Structure 1
Amino acid sequence: MSEQDPSTAEDEAPRSTRRQRRRTAPIALAGRTLVLGVSLAVFGTCGFSWYTFHSLTTGITTSDALAPVKQAAPPRPTDSAGHLDNSVNLLLIGLDSRRDQDGNALPSDVLQNDLHAGSTSDIGGYNTNTLILMHIPANGGKVEAFSIPRDDYVDLINAPGQPKLGKHKVKEAYDRAKYQAVKELTAKGVTDPVELEHQSREAGRQATLLTVQNMLQVPIDHFAEVNLIGFYDVAQALGPIEVCLKKAVKDPIVARTATRAGHGSGADFPAGPQQLNAAQALSFVRQRYNLPNGDLDRTHRQQAFLAGVTKKLKDQGVFGDLGKMQSLLDAVKKDVVIDSSWNVLDFAQQVPNLTGGNVEFNTLGSVISQPDLGGGDGDVNIVDVDKIRAQVKQTIGYADASPAAPTSSPSSSPDAPTSSAEPSPSLSATSADPTSGASDGPTASAGAGADSTDDATGSSTAGPTSSPSGDSIADEFSGNAVEGGSIPCVY
């Protein structure tokens, strides 16, 4: 397996590595936006013994990437009453990688026929097209999920002692760090392709975690990662998932050639509520062309699909059925990576909130300025990092909700993050109860189908609104709660 220079990679490029240790641990994810669904399935088994947890989670890949992240974490904040915050911040990472955990290319027939993701595993690289930070309160309050637009232009933070990554799209932290790690490891004599893949992916994870932690200025306690095939496997294991579209959509795949960039997700759906199979689900959450708000609509699709997945898990009784849970976990173990410090028993007490619909989805970083920087960056979202930090703190109830001063990078790291003084973002949110009823690095990416170029996202005010029909469809978005038992209706 040869390493691709991210400066020539198309679409979303990242590859990474990590010491993969298999051990008992709780799990999470199910793919890009499905990640939470799988986590819920595991955490929902709080009535089982530890032995049962062990049998369910044995074989899941774990990572030590959090070590430098915790060392660089900002001080633990206090709540509005001045008490030390004991909440949990979980980062869900969805990779656009078309390779397995060992770096092997996925079969071309799987890429084309099942994933509708082009014909080669070199497309997309290792960009993180889904980044969702979940804040889970220690007191059993509302869970806040923050979607970070992938094209937000921020300081990328590498691990201490590693090469500086510069300022680029947040999605590129993984790939740029991985690429640098491969060069360094190769220079040290590491030649085994699997070992290179594992170690460089670990570097990618560290950079992604450090970048998001610095961007939001909240400590990250745990993370879960999944790639394209993982999303597909989980969606297939769950069966049809209900979603709703405000308008009919069609996004045909345009094949990539030597002179033309490919694009398109293969999405072809009518308006209104509908059930999606695994292949359709992947097209649904990856479409960004032929939508009124581009990437922003894709972010809302991910949130809506996640609501549908959580509802399906609840309706099927996965949380209380060992056999169903085992079947689901067996389908995703090979595709999921979680941090090695995650203790499922400590986390299980939050299950009622996650499965009971007490979750609010927020989209960070409204896009007012979208300049085309050219080179490897292309169209980017210029955001006010200080205001994003203040918005996150205010939403999760931290006492200090004033804009944070720019912070420096982790100790010994050459990166020095700064804030952009561009138009400020707004925060759009939807509460859903789905269960009751140019430097070395990647170029501009394209996350859908055979995509290989970026498009601009839209206004942050767009989101799920009134549905075409059906009692289970949400009426409002943009700050208003989606009523219990509903499925958000999106573009």
Structure 2
Amino acid sequence: MPENTRHRPRPAAVRRGRRAPWQLALRVAAWGTSATLLLGCGATWYVYRSLTDGLTTSDALDAVRGKAPRHLDNSVNLLLIGLDSRKDMNGNDLPRQFVQTELHAGSSDIGYYNTNTLILMHIPADGGKVQAFSIPRDDYVQTLNGDGSVQGHYKIKEAYANAYTTVHDKYAAQGVKGADLEAKSREAGREATLATVQQFTGVPIDHFAEVNLLGFYDIAKVLQPITVCLKHPVKDRYSGANFPAGVQQLNARQALAFVRQRHGLDEGDLDRTRRQQAFISTVTHQLKSQGVWASPSKLQGLFDVVKKDVVLDSSWNVLDFAQQAPNLTGGNVVFHTLPIEGFGIRNREDVNLVDPDKVKSIVQQAFGPASSPSPAATGTTAAAPATVDVINGNGGRGIASEALSSLVKLGYTAGATGNAAPRSATTVRYGAGAQQAAQQIAGRLHAGTATAGSAVPAGHVVVTLGADYTPPGEQAPSPTATASSTAPAADSGPAVKAGGVPCVN
């Protein structure tokens, strides 16, 4: 399905210098156990360290370290990021014919840099069961940049694209071009995704791997046929999925259609999320059952995909992680989907409404104890300097004064209050020097994106309250209490257990 498009430069990878062969082997071993396709790990990888030159790495985690509660043990949290971009690692459009016939994904202009797959995994220090949570891509959350500044409220998948675009435009205006411009822009996107997921879930991210749409296809091509199981027959012209019910084997083109389908499924994107979980389970099962680790030709193909389609964090300490890795290929993984509270319309888009406190509670309970959260992890970042004026377009008596009082308690300077004609949506505008404060306030009020206002005095933020106004610190209205709600609340649905071929919708 087409996504919103924006100005797109031509991406280039973020590459580091050549490392010693044994270091590269260890890093690839680690990626193999936790990247989006969970390609497994173990001592066998050490035999193939000569294949590991040319990996693409990122230092994006440096921007978010220490901004979430710390582990109290040696457990590891991994974030698997899947980009929807129809571009290669260098930002070049994939051939049109390939995108249309093999990927069945429209055109290369679709997708931009949205993160349509986000899976957060927790590998316990004692080698116990691995817990994994998929984060639905349309969850409407407060998104952050890597430095902790607030982008606004958007679908969680848009954090990457928002940061990418902002940084690209900034550096392009300074004359930065080509690969350097693309590297800075994509690194900002990764940092924003990491910061947003950390804040949303309330747990630290220790490592991550990023793979593009082509990566799913390439892995499936190496390992095909891919065995899957469907509870019902499906036919969808958007993704190209056309499968009977039951267990069946798919080629690479069909496997990509299997993980991309959402039209025609009872729970849409939530069912697609479970398809992705089932795909990972199946791939890890095949890697173990087919003896891939003993096949140099298969391993060569997997390494080629890693180097071509995957970006890895550069800080993985595999020696600390090695004893935990067998759980991922041994079927000791349970996949969950984070719950939503229902559906609504925000910024004129269909979104999933979520309860951030509930999400944090679920994830933290599953992942185990951690230290006290830092201020950034709890959303209590110090208020940026600004004088706030509040205008009541909500209709409630005294609501402007109450809203201003709430914002003053958060650290902003009190300005004036006033009234305006009733309106449906809360807006935030800012004058010169007040952008950071406006972004913070817009995030706290669930008011979308703060915008510059030529009539707003320097150092001021003007908040105009609408019918959707929610006092800062309170939860967003439940879906049953808003006119934009279109469906009842939904939970996360059944878990998908790894170790075989799970049957899904």
Q: Tell me the TM-score range normalised by the shorter chain.
A: 0.7 to 0.9
Amino acid at match of 1:133: L
Amino acid at match of 1:174: Y
| Structure with higher RCO (Cα < 8 A, 6+ apart) | 1
Q: Confirm whether residue 421 of structure 1 aligns to residue 487 of structure 2.
A: no
Counterparts of residues 75-474 of structure 1 (less than 5 Å)? 75-77=69-71, 84-119=72-107, 121-160=108-147, 164-192=150-178, 194-252=179-237, 264-366=238-340, 368-375=341-348, 378-398=349-369, 406-408=378-380, 416=440, 418=444, 421-422=475-476, 460-461=490-491, 463=493
1:58 counterpart residue number: 53
Q: Tell whether the 8 Å contact from 1:157 to 1:409 is kept in structure 2 after alignment.
A: no
* Residues 170/424 of structure 1: CA separation in 2 closer, same or farther (3 Å cut): same
Q: Tell whether the 8 Å contact from 1:151 to 1:380 is kept in structure 2 after alignment.
A: yes
1:489 counterpart residue number: 503
Amino acid at match of 1:237: V
Tell me the alpha carbon deviations over residues 81-128 of structure 1, each in whole angstroms, 9 at most, x when there is no partner. xxx221111000000011112111111111011111113x11111100
Q: Tell whether the 8 Å contact from 2:231 to 2:504 is kept in structure 1 after alignment.
A: yes
CA distance in 1, matches of 2:15, 2:209: 13
* Residues 48/207 of structure 1: CA separation in 2 closer, same or farther (3 Å cut): closer
2:412 counterpart residue number: none
Give the C-alpha shift of residue 186 in structure 1. Answer: 0.5
Q: Tell whether the 8 Å contact from 1:152 to 1:383 is kept in structure 2 after alignment.
A: yes
Give the C-alpha shift of residue 14 in structure 1. Answer: 11
Tell me the alpha carbon deviations over residues 345-374 of structure 1, each in whole angstroms, 9 at most, x when there is no partner. 4322122211111111111023x3311124
Q: Secondary structure at the match of 1:360?
A: strand
Query: Which of the pair is proportionally richer in helix?
Result: 2
Tell me the alpha carbon deviations over residues 315-358 of structure 1, each in whole angstroms, 9 at most, x when there is no partner. 11123444432332123311100001113343221222111111
* Residues 344/307 of structure 1: CA separation in 2 closer, same or farther (3 Å cut): same
CA distance in 2, matches of 1:392, 1:88: 14
Q: Secondary structure at the match of 1:126?
A: coil
CA distance in 1, matches of 2:10, 2:139: 20
Counterparts of residues 472-483 of structure 1 (less than 5 Å)? 478=494, 482=497
Q: Secondary structure at the match of 1:165?
A: strand
CA distance in 2, matches of 1:411, 1:338: 34
CA distance in 2, matches of 1:212, 1:176: 15
Q: Tell whether the 8 Å contact from 1:144 to 1:396 is kept in structure 2 after alignment.
A: yes
CA distance in 2, matches of 1:173, 1:16: 17
Match of 1:26 among 25, 28, 31: 28
CA distance in 2, matches of 1:398, 1:14: 42
Aligned length: 406
Q: Tell whether the 8 Å contact from 1:287 to 1:298 is kept in structure 2 after alignment.
A: yes
Give the C-alpha shift of residue 154 in structure 1. Answer: 0.7
Q: Tell whether the 8 Å contact from 1:294 to 1:458 is kept in structure 2 after alignment.
A: no
Q: Secondary structure at the match of 2:137?
A: coil
Give the C-alpha shift of residue 18 in structure 1. Answer: 6.2
1:255 counterpart residue number: none
Tell me the alpha carbon deviations over residues 199-233 of structure 1, each in whole angstroms, 9 at most, x when there is no partner. 21101000000000111111101000000111111
* Residues 47/374 of structure 1: CA separation in 2 closer, same or farther (3 Å cut): closer
Amino acid at match of 1:225: E
CA distance in 2, matches of 1:107, 1:400: 48
Q: Tell whether the 8 Å contact from 2:44 to 2:293 is kept in structure 1 after alignment.
A: no
* Residues 391/90 of structure 1: CA separation in 2 closer, same or farther (3 Å cut): same
CA distance in 2, matches of 1:14, 1:362: 36
CA distance in 1, matches of 2:36, 2:6: 26
Tell me the alpha carbon deviations over residues 255-285 of structure 1, each in whole angstroms, 9 at most, x when there is no partner. xxxxxxxxx1111110111111111111111
Give the C-alpha shift of residue 180 in structure 1. Answer: 0.3
Q: Secondary structure at the match of 2:278?
A: helix
* Residues 346/326 of structure 1: CA separation in 2 closer, same or farther (3 Å cut): farther
Tell me the alpha carbon deviations over residues 133-164 of structure 1, each in whole angstroms, 9 at most, x when there is no partner. 010111111111110011111111102287x4
Amino acid at match of 1:197: E
Q: Secondary structure at the match of 1:354?
A: helix
Give the C-alpha shift of residue 457 in structure 1. Answer: 9.3
Q: Tell whether the 8 Å contact from 1:16 to 1:126 is kept in structure 2 after alignment.
A: no
CA distance in 2, matches of 1:190, 1:401: 41
* Residues 268/372 of structure 1: CA separation in 2 closer, same or farther (3 Å cut): same
Q: Tell whether the 8 Å contact from 2:159 to 2:192 is kept in structure 1 after alignment.
A: yes
CA distance in 1, matches of 2:162, 2:57: 22
CA distance in 1, matches of 2:294, 2:487: 40
Amino acid at match of 1:91: L
Amino acid at match of 1:489: C
Q: Tell whether the 8 Å contact from 1:35 to 1:224 is kept in structure 2 after alignment.
A: yes
Q: Tell whether the 8 Å contact from 1:294 to 1:457 is kept in structure 2 after alignment.
A: no
Q: Tell whether the 8 Å contact from 1:160 to 1:411 is kept in structure 2 after alignment.
A: no
Amino acid at match of 2:240: G
Q: Tell whether the 8 Å contact from 2:35 to 2:209 is kept in structure 1 after alignment.
A: no
Larger radius of gyration: 2
Give the C-alpha shift of residue 64 in structure 1. Answer: 0.7
CA distance in 2, matches of 1:370, 1:251: 23
* Residues 215/240 of structure 1: CA separation in 2 closer, same or farther (3 Å cut): same
Amino acid at match of 1:325: L
Give the C-alpha shift of residue 129 in structure 1. Answer: 0.4
Q: Tell whether the 8 Å contact from 1:246 to 1:489 is kept in structure 2 after alignment.
A: yes
CA distance in 2, matches of 1:317, 1:292: 36
CA distance in 1, matches of 2:77, 2:115: 18
Amino acid at match of 1:26: V
Give the C-alpha shift of residue 488 in structure 1. Answer: 1.5
Give the C-alpha shift of residue 458 in structure 1. Answer: 8.6
* Residues 301/409 of structure 1: CA separation in 2 closer, same or farther (3 Å cut): farther
Query: Which of the pair is proportionally richer in strand?
Result: 2
Q: Tell whether the 8 Å contact from 2:82 to 2:212 is kept in structure 1 after alignment.
A: yes
CA distance in 2, matches of 1:348, 1:183: 41
Amino acid at match of 2:359: I
Poorly superposed stretches of 4+, deviation over 6 Å: 13-18, 399-402, 410-414, 456-459
* Residues 198/379 of structure 1: CA separation in 2 closer, same or farther (3 Å cut): same
Q: Secondary structure at the match of 2:93?
A: coil
